[in-house]
């Protein structure tokens, strides 16, 4: 083999690897149509009920309009906490993520507090359920993992 051909072949392998890497990176970019479809699926109102630390029953209501979310928690019919956030959806591999930011508490004892930074959790829509899985992503190792299931509110 001549030196020129040998040198050219030495460049072929890294070049081929770069082409494969670029192609695989393209596959990992979220599909804009899929993200729009995901956004459409989560629009509307969702509710859940539970017990607080003292055993009192509460109701949560999540309302999603566009890329804004408002969450309200009521205890015995009295509103105790409301906050609003901006959010964006993403897909990484086979995982859907919901990242929220600009949290402002608009009702309750912490009214007026603005929470800095953003937070991300895994989400899915399964039929009439919006499922949040928190505490599993990198950076959340100190947190207790949790699963919260919201039910779609039928208007």
Q: What is the C-alpha to C-alpha distance for residues 124 and 110, in angstroms, rounded to an integer? A: 30
Task: Sketch the domain layout of the chain as residue ranges.
Answer: 1-30, 32-152
Tokens of 107: 């009702």
Q: Which residue has the tokens 């105790």?
A: 80
Identify whether the C-beta of residue 31 lies closer than 8 Å to the C-beta of residue 91: yes
- Say how many residues make up the chain: 155
Q: What is the pLDDT of residue 76?
A: 84
Identify whether the C-beta of residue 102 lies closer than 8 Å to the C-beta of residue 68: no
Q: What is the pLDDT of residue 53?
A: 85
Write the pLDDT tens digit of every residue in 130-139. 999 999 999 8
- With a cut of 70, list the residues of the chain below it in pLDDT: 1-30
Q: Which residue has the tokens 């929470």?
A: 115
Angle among Cα 103, 104, 107 to the nearest 5 degrees reads 135
Residue 139: which of 116, 120, 122, 115 has the closest Cα? 120
Q: What is the pTM of this model?
A: 0.78
Q: What is the pLDDT of residue 16?
A: 34
Identify whether the C-beta of residue 76 lies closer than 8 Å to the C-beta of residue 57: yes
Identify whether the C-beta of residue 146 lies closer than 8 Å to the C-beta of residue 140: no
Just give the CATH number of 32-152: 2.40.128
3-state secondary structure of 47: strand
């Amino acid at each position: 083999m001549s030196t020129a051909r040998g040198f050219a072949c030495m460049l072929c392998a890294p070049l081929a690897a770069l082409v494969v890497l670029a192609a695989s990176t393209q596959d990992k970019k979220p599909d804009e149509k899929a993200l729009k479809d995901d956004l459409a699926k989560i629009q509307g109102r969702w509710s859940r009920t539970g017990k607080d630390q003292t055993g009192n029953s509460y109701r949560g209501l999540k309302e999603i309009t566009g890329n804004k979310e408002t969450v309200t928690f009521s205890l015995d019919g009295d509103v105790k906490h409301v906050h609003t956030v901006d959010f964006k959806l993403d897909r990484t591999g086979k995982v859907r993520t919901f990242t929220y930011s600009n949290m402002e508490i608009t009702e309750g004892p912490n009214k007026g507090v603005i929470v800095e930074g953003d937070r991300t959790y895994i989400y899915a829509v399964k039929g009439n359920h919006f499922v949040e899985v928190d505490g599993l992503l990198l950076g959340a190792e100190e947190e207790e993992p949790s699963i919260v299931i919201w039910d779609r509110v039928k208007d």
